Structure 1
Amino acid sequence: MREKGSPSIPIRPPMVLYAGLAVGGLLDYAADVRFLPDSLGFLSSLSGYALLAVSIGLMFMACTAFRREHTNVRTDRPAESVVADGIFRFTRNPMYLSFCLLGLSLSLILNSLWVLLGTFPFCVYIHHVVIPEEERYMEKRFGDAYLNYRRRTPRWL
């Protein structure tokens, strides 16, 4: 349940990703559709595991920065501060980037077109619904401190 003073995000972002991955996984089980040739299997898996490591690292660095600033990670709770150090110096949305990379990494590891397509709705939802709402919320809550951060730090990379 959304707490008062938090962004108006209709569905928590991880739930959208998990649903997409679950649907992709079920479709993959029902109809195995590969998007890379079998000859690239090892390279695909290796790339997938490398991206998975990057995804986990990004999430770890982002959560660590949030804890240092004593602010909430969850979108249904109020932000306590503008986190602008650590990984947040390079991207305003390392957690969402991490989730997108997670879906891509799993699709490479499994060589599954369905898992890749299951990640796509999450990326669209984040880019067009969640981030714009969070940006409006942060601007209203923190004013110039957030606007200065937003000007100097890219949304993605």
Structure 2
Amino acid sequence: MAEIDRKGAQVKFPPPLIFVSFMALAYWMGSFYPITFSSPEWLKFIAAFLMVMGFAILLHILFIFKRQQTAIEPWQPTSVIISHGYYRYSRNPIYLIFCLYPIGLGCMLGSLWLIVSLVPACIAVYLIAIKAEERYLHQKFPQEYGEYCLRVRRWL
């Protein structure tokens, strides 16, 4: 158990950078092969609002992790399973928040590439981070995390 605690989930690449990398690639692709659309002002407003709300929720989740005295970084050891608040609805609310940004920016800039970048970003986050996190949490908290997985879906 001490080895598991020391190593954490061993996620090697920060998940936010996965989303940012795919968004940058999408933006670059859009400069060569633009696939644009015209967004009405109300859609741009909703997109901006969701991005700001996502950031506020992310700060709240950071506060929850601090209050529970556990690491939010997936490469650090976890001391407790958080299963209340946002975690009652999703095992990965932080990654769901990250999904708001390619959608929001895509709507604001009228870039289908940015919106589509969400799909490979989610796949990469699953392969790089979520699988490792779930394996780690199942090893460290077998019964508690197993029961939690039965109650709460991975995404929504």
Q: TM-score range by the shorter chain?
A: 0.7 to 0.9
Computed over aligned residues only, the root mean square deviation of the Cα atoms, in angstroms, reads: 2.1
Match of 1:89 in 2: 88
Match of 1:18 in 2: 20
Point out the more displaced range, 10-19 or 103-112: 10-19
Point out the more displaced range, 115-124 or 136-145: 115-124
Structure 1 gaps, min length 5 = none
Code of the residue aligned with 1:7 in structure 2: it is A
Match of 1:59 in 2: 58
Q: Secondary structure at the match of 1:136?
A: helix
Taking structure 2 as the reference length, the TM-score comes to 0.84
Distance in 2 (alpha carbons) for counterparts of 1:44 and 1:139: 41
Question: Aligned match of 1:8 in 7, 10, 13?
Answer: 10
Point out the more displaced range, 18-27 or 133-142: 18-27
Q: Residues 40-119 of structure 1 correspond to what in structure 2 (within 5 A)?
A: 40-119=39-118
Give the number of equivalent residue pairs.
Answer: 152
Distance in 1 (alpha carbons) for counterparts of 2:31 and 2:42: 22
Distance in 1 (alpha carbons) for counterparts of 2:102 and 2:51: 9
Q: Secondary structure at the match of 2:7?
A: coil
Asked if 2 retains the 8 angstrom alpha-carbon contact of 1:48 and 1:105, the reply is: yes
Distance in 2 (alpha carbons) for counterparts of 1:67 and 1:28: 39
Identity over the aligned pairs, expressed in percent?
Answer: 24
How far does residue 28 in structure 1 lie from its aligned partner after superposition? 3.3
Structure 1 residues 41 and 32: CA distance shift in structure 2, 3 A:
farther
Distance in 1 (alpha carbons) for counterparts of 2:103 and 2:53: 11
Match of 1:156 in 2: 155
Asked if 2 retains the 8 angstrom alpha-carbon contact of 1:65 and 1:85, the reply is: no
How far does residue 41 in structure 1 lie from its aligned partner after superposition? 2.6
Deviations 1:82-122 (A, max 9, x none): 11122112211110000011221111111112222333321
How far does residue 29 in structure 1 lie from its aligned partner after superposition? 4.3
Distance in 2 (alpha carbons) for counterparts of 1:4 and 1:107: 40
